[in-house]
Amino acid sequence: MLNVKEKGDKAVFKYCKAFDGVKMKRLAVSQKEIDKAIESVPSELQTAILQAKKNIELFHNSQKEEVRKIETMPGVTCWRQSKGIEKIGLYIPGGTAPLFSTVLMLGIPAQIAGCKEIILCTPPDKKGKINPAILFAAELCGISKIYKVGGVQAIATMTFGTETIQKVFKIFGPGNQYVTMAKQMAQQYSVAIDMPAGPSEVLVIADESANAEFVASDLLSQAEHGIDSQAILITTDEKLGKQVVDAILNQIELLPRKAIAEKALKNSKLIVVKNISEAIELSDLYAPEHLIIACKNANEVAQQISTAGSVFIGNHSPESAGDYASGTNHTLPTNGYASMYSGVSLDSFVKKITYQELTKEGLGNIGQTVMTMAAAEGLDAHKNAIAIRLKK
Amino acid sequence: MLNVKEKGDKAVFKYCKAFDGVKMKRLAVSQKEIDKAIESVPSELQTAILQAKKNIELFHNSQKEEVRKIETMPGVTCWRQSKGIEKIGLYIPGGTAPLFSTVLMLGIPAQIAGCKEIILCTPPDKKGKINPAILFAAELCGISKIYKVGGVQAIATMTFGTETIQKVFKIFGPGNQYVTMAKQMAQQYSVAIDMPAGPSEVLVIADESANAEFVASDLLSQAEHGIDSQAILITTDEKLGKQVVDAILNQIELLPRKAIAEKALKNSKLIVVKNISEAIELSDLYAPEHLIIACKNANEVAQQISTAGSVFIGNHSPESAGDYASGTNHTLPTNGYASMYSGVSLDSFVKKITYQELTKEGLGNIGQTVMTMAAAEGLDAHKNAIAIRLKK
């Protein structure tokens, strides 16, 4: 981190060579590169990304807060208003999967929030290129400043700024353990982050009405994420539990990421409980990032849940729908953090400023209250700010 | 921190003796103590606290978010719902001022949010007592578990739990540099905190229409907070600037906390600018915790501000109104953090869970989009979770 602070771009180039194995001449992606990349994205994928964008936009637009002016006493009016965080940075990891879906999940609400400067950092491949679908998604979200830099050095550039890349106020996005640690360090230099990150997880609550094949496919789509992923099944029906295990053993054979999924399943659990209440209680204690409810009256069960990142209701709502395109955000609290954090939403990209306006009458109405309280807290200048006005 | 984790209450008692100079036998405040304390609060102060509570409640109630179900595609419905964070801890410092107002600012939204367990820690005085107004305010907010423990040891108990005090999910409240550091450390043990804390500040934008006496009183009510407080005046009118300085020199003589205010004023600045646009630009760069706008068309100026914790509009809106009773929250981002953080609000006490429910038709509509995207990211199990359902 500190090397980038001191040496700027020079340090970044050095780390690009060391960690990404590519000698870079410039970090910024040119408009020409973007245009060329867009042409190479298959039209079927372009259509899918556009559809996902539309849904994510609709849902995040609905999170806008109207300004409500509240007269708490006659002549004392309070309200709050959201303003976009001026400068933000998005980090999109490279590695095995090109996460253009995460570009949408972060870029769309940033655009709706009215963030003025949105920059994106993502590591180049060995040829110094970025996956075209990432550039296509970024362009759709109005992100014009894209830099080919990954890992700790990317977080450091957005924290301190360099000759090429400017410092931001808040950094968003997933990453490996080094990126996560770098984001934690960034907080010590007055940069905010979206949320603490950990391994991903799904919990499925299923009763005898669930479809074992569906449940197995949901557990596996979590397991393929990484070897530290966790997939939990809580069921009231032991028979269903066994069917799900059988279905997993069948389905896993066909997966390209079988080796990863197998390792992840070693961390995973199948728990048989007496009734749905017990399942809800256990789930709340676990605080799952993703919760799938595959049982009768799924909507009622969902209402009783008090802790989860995102909830998928019924047999036709797989996690992958929310991961890509239903409209909800896929950047969610993992590792038990759903007990105290919300997922990324429009809120994450704004500051909510409060305002108050008092009329002369309003100050008269509230004056005695403030003066009495200020005096009791021993803060006479606070009292005086009222008294001096009331005297006029 | 770690001593409390290992030794529990025993360590807490030791630190109470060492730092608060009092040998405690029990940490929990009894209902008898609370009842007795309430009787001793002067009725004028009780009335003031009740009035403040009413206003704060009204404004924070208005921050409740109605559930909006959005059909992003036919058969694909998304919404989000707030649920109170189950267990939270409030820290109220002791020291020179008994901050019962902070009890209201944290306790009221916690109650509205529906947090199930709200505990409060505050240091005892040399006699092992807590200021009655703090107990009165806590009782009003439905906080039944109050513990006589302060400083780092209070944060440690809420982070790890002891025999008496239970672990919480999120810790709120101000404190000195040791408490602030302890809260930062708590984050490493999977506990969330309200926001990073720093010295408090006010910025006043004033033109020739401002009243120098009023402005001086506002700057001084910030300066009396602590020697590291900062009070900034940006004015388009040099004459007003001089009048404010004179008024400060007069008013400060009468303040009991004069010595503190004098030291704070040494960090403070008076800046003369050419016009209001320049003032707005400077203010946004400074990102003030409190911003007072004492100029013509104050409301229009407020609309142009993009960064501040809380804004006080016009000559009759002193900061102290918001510190105690206008209805807005006084727990605000300091030290430049207004660039990326919001003040405490109802949002701070809830998790916003997202939900999605797809009908069979909805899954049909979204299926191809999800499968195309999942395949392009190389996540076949995600694709399979859709395909297997569509086949049925």
B107 in any annotated domain: yes
Select the residue from A369, A386, A390, A392 to test the B interface by mutation, using most B Cβ atoms within 10 A: A369
Q: Are residues B57 and B155 in the same domain?
A: yes
**Residue A97: closest CA among chain B residues belongs to which residue?**
B377
Touching check for B327 and chain A: CB below 8 Å? yes
pLDDT value at position B40? 94
**Residue B57: closest CA among chain A residues belongs to which residue?**
A72
Of all residues in chain B, what percent carry a pLDDT higher than 90? 88
pLDDT value at position B97? 72
Hey, are the CB atoms on B342 and A351 less than 8 Å from each other?
yes
- For the segment B347-367, what is each residue's pLDDT rounded down to a tens digit? 999 999 999 999 999 999 999
A369 vs B contacts (CB less than 8 Å): 47-48, 51-52, 324-325
pLDDT value at position B14? 87
- For the segment A85-105, what is each residue's pLDDT rounded down to a tens digit? 999 999 999 866 789 999 999
pLDDT value at position B13? 85
Hey, are the CB atoms on B327 and A356 less than 8 Å from each other?
yes
Confidence of residue A199 (pLDDT cuts 50, 70, 90): confident
Q: Are residues A137 and A244 in the same domain?
A: no
**Residue A377: closest CA among chain B residues belongs to which residue?**
B97
Average pLDDT of the segment spanning B210-216: 98
**Is residue A228 within 8 Å of A257, Cβ to Cβ?**
no
Q: Are residues A108 and A189 in the same domain?
A: yes
pLDDT value at position B30? 94
Touching check for B194 and chain A: CB below 8 Å? no
pLDDT value at position B96? 65
List the CATH number of the domain containing B207.
Answer: 3.40.50.1980
Touching check for A67 and chain B: CB below 8 Å? no
- For the segment B28-76, what is each residue's pLDDT rounded down to a tens digit? 999 999 999 999 999 999 999 999 999 999 999 999 999 999 999 999 9
Q: Are residues B34 and B145 in the same domain?
A: yes
Q: Are residues A238 and A126 in the same domain?
A: no
pLDDT value at position A96? 65
Higher pLDDT, A392 or A65: A65
B354 in any annotated domain: no
Number of domains in chain B: 3
- The residue out of B167, B194, B221 marking a domain boundary is B194
Q: What residues of B are labeled active site?
A: 289-290
For B375, the domain range is 359-391
Q: Are residues B274 and B133 in the same domain?
A: no
Could you give the CA distance from residue A92 to residue A172 in angstroms, rounded to a whole number?
A: 9
- For the segment B159-177, what is each residue's pLDDT rounded down to a tens digit? 999 999 999 999 999 988 8
- For the segment A216-231, what is each residue's pLDDT rounded down to a tens digit? 999 999 999 989 999 9
Looking at chain B from residue 209 to 268, which residues have their Cβ under 8 Å from any Cβ of chain A?
211, 213-214, 217-218, 220-221, 223-225, 251, 254-257, 261
pLDDT value at position B3? 85
Touching check for A64 and chain B: CB below 8 Å? no
Q: Are residues B183 and B210 in the same domain?
A: no
B305 in any annotated domain: yes
Touching check for B313 and chain A: CB below 8 Å? yes
Q: Are residues B158 and B98 in the same domain?
A: yes
- The residue out of A163, A194, A225 marking a domain boundary is A194
List the CATH number of the domain containing A385.
Answer: 1.20.5.1300
**Is residue B196 within 8 Å of B172, Cβ to Cβ?**
no
Select the residue from A356, A360, A363, A390 to test the B interface by mutation, using most B Cβ atoms within 10 A: A356
Looking at chain A from residue 269 to 288, which residues have their Cβ under 8 Å from any Cβ of chain B?
none
Q: Are residues B45 and B186 in the same domain?
A: yes
Hey, are the CB atoms on B223 and A381 less than 8 Å from each other?
yes
Whether A193 has a pLDDT exceeding 90, the answer reads yes
Regarding pTM above 0.90, the answer is yes
- For the segment A237-246, what is each residue's pLDDT rounded down to a tens digit? 999 999 999 9
**What is the count of residue pairs from A and B with beta carbons less than 8 Å apart?**
415
Nearest to B218 among A302, A311, A385 (CB): A385
- For the segment A53-88, what is each residue's pLDDT rounded down to a tens digit? 999 999 999 999 999 999 999 999 999 999 999 999
B328 vs A contacts (CB less than 8 Å): 78, 80, 354-356
Tokens encoding A317: 């709502």
pLDDT value at position A163? 92
Whether B199 has a pLDDT exceeding 90, the answer reads no
Whether A322 has a pLDDT exceeding 80, the answer reads yes
- For the segment A299-321, what is each residue's pLDDT rounded down to a tens digit? 999 999 999 999 999 999 999 99
Q: What mean pLDDT value characterizes chain B?
A: 95
Looking at chain B from residue 76 to 95, which residues have their Cβ under 8 Å from any Cβ of chain A?
76, 78, 80, 83, 85-86
Q: Are residues B159 and B250 in the same domain?
A: no
Select the residue from B316, B348, B350, B392 to test the A interface by mutation, using most A Cβ atoms within 10 A: B316
